[in-house]
Amino acid sequence: MVNAPTVICVGMAGSGKTTFMQRLNSHLHSKKKPPYVINLDPAVSKVPFGCNIDIRDSVKYKKVMEEYNLGPNGAIVTSLNLFATKIDQVINLVEKRADNFSHCIIDTPGQIECFIWSASGAIITEAFASTFPTIIAYIIDTPRSSSPTTFISNMLYACSILYKTKLPMIVVFNKTDVEKADFAKEWMQDFEKFQESLRTDPNMNGEFSNGSGYMSSLVNSMSLMLEEFYSTLDVVACSAYTGEGFDDFLNAIDKKTEEYNEVY
Ligand code: GDP
Ligand code: MG
């Protein structure tokens, strides 16, 4: 196992993966060794950071769309499939350079399902995980997760990714320049506070007002499962715009890498 950790950035479309990558890249340049940078989004028009490997160099997304008569998401998955057939060469290339970088950082397609729920996404992830300590950074749009209902959807999605990849995960609350993530940390530490917010959430139409009924009982049961899930996570709040929180993120990576080397 090579020692330099690989960080795979995943998250809902628009959560800020690419902007996070850009900031992480410049942060590592200034604080540690430059990272090894990989772009796996075939459909992006401009990548705002220098890449060592860019899927767009080997797979032409628009041509894939025309040639196979596919829509946007089908073309992304097919592009990833084509790239995955060469993953051995990619891993060899990264491994050869491993002495020269501190971290390998990977951006993934805007639509999270294209990567996480595709066979090629799994093949690529597993290829890295068998060679490098590989950590999933799950990027969350904090301002869009500040209502209890969107928050819990995001957390359940994060949990499903943990099950799918079985890799250590850091939950990154991004865009703290717009909204601080204190509410999220509080909800993750104290489920009663979360339930209280749910009770007063106008989206719930009073479902929780008397603490009974189907939704209340569902949320109570979920609390047990989420508590267990939260206990394995590291949580970081940051802003890809201002750079706030990126030292914390690197510390979380160090911690997860240590754990990784003990477990895997
Ligand atoms: P991706 O689809 O996950 O790769 O998301 P992008 O990196 O393309 O970002 C989506 C949108 O969120 C863009 O308009 C970004 O400028 C914006 N964005 C990303 N990070 C931040 C941040 O830290 N703060 C703010 N305010 N906006 C951000
Ligand atoms: Mg992107």
How would DSSP label each residue in 88-102?
HHHHHHHHHTGGG-S
> Within 13 Å, how many C-alpha atoms sit on residue 249's CB side?
30
Place of tokens 């940390």: 185
Phi, psi angle pair for 34, to nearest 5°: -60, 145
The two three-digit tokens of residue 29, written as one number? 């340049």
Q: What is the pLDDT of residue 209?
A: 61
Distance of CA 32 to the CA centre of its chain: 22
| pLDDT at position 8 over 90 | yes
Q: What percent of the chain has pLDDT over 70?
A: 96
d(CA 12, CA 170): 15
Tell which atom from ligand 1 comes closest to the C-alpha of 239.
23
Cα–ligand 2 centroid distance for 69 (angstroms): 24
Ligand located closest to 17 CA: 1
Residue identifier of the C-alpha nearest atom 9 of ligand 1:
16
Residue identifier of the C-alpha nearest atom 14 of ligand 1:
14
pLDDT confidence tier of residue 119, bands split at 50, 70 and 90: very high
Residue 211: closest CA among 221, 220, 202, 201:
220
Cα–ligand 2 centroid distance for 55 (angstroms): 13
Report pLDDT digits (tens) over 19-75.
999 999 999 999 878 999 999 999 999 999 999 999 999 999 999 999 999 999 999
83-92: buried (b, 16+ CB within 10 Å) or exposed (e) per residue? bbeebeebbe
Residue identifier of the C-alpha nearest atom 17 of ligand 1:
16
Residue identifier of the C-alpha nearest atom 15 of ligand 1:
16
| pLDDT at position 196 over 90 | no
Cα–ligand 1 centroid distance for 11 (angstroms): 11
d(CA 121, CA 102): 23
Tell which atom from ligand 1 comes closest to the C-alpha of 139.
3
What residues does the ion ligand 2 have nearby, CB within 5 Å?
Answer: 17-18, 110
- Residues having CB closer than 6 A to ligand 1 are 11, 13-19, 110, 174-175, 177-178, 239-241
Distance of CA 226 to the CA centre of its chain: 18
Residue identifier of the C-alpha nearest atom 10 of ligand 1:
14
Ligand located closest to 240 CA: 1
| Ligand 1 pocket mutation, candidates 8, 9, 19, criterion most atoms within 8 A of CB | 19
pTM of the entire structure? 0.95
Mean pLDDT, residues 166-182 taken together: 97
Cα–ligand 2 centroid distance for 85 (angstroms): 23
Residue 159 burial by Cβ neighbours in a 10 Å radius (0-12, 13-18, 19+): buried
Residues 22 and 139 sit within 8 Å (Cβ to Cβ): no
Residues 104 and 32 sit within 8 Å (Cβ to Cβ): no
Q: Where are the alpha helices (DSSP H) in the chain?
A: 17-31, 55-58, 61-67, 72-84, 87-96, 112-116, 119-129, 148-165, 182-189, 191-199, 214-231, 246-263
Cα–ligand 2 centroid distance for 197 (angstroms): 31
d(CA 95, CA 1): 10
Q: What is the pLDDT of residue 59?
A: 96
Residues 170 and 253 sit within 8 Å (Cβ to Cβ): yes
The two three-digit tokens of residue 132, written as one number? 């490098």
Q: Is 243 helix (H, G, I), strand (E, B) or coil?
A: coil
ipTM over 0.95: yes
Cα–ligand 2 centroid distance for 240 (angstroms): 13
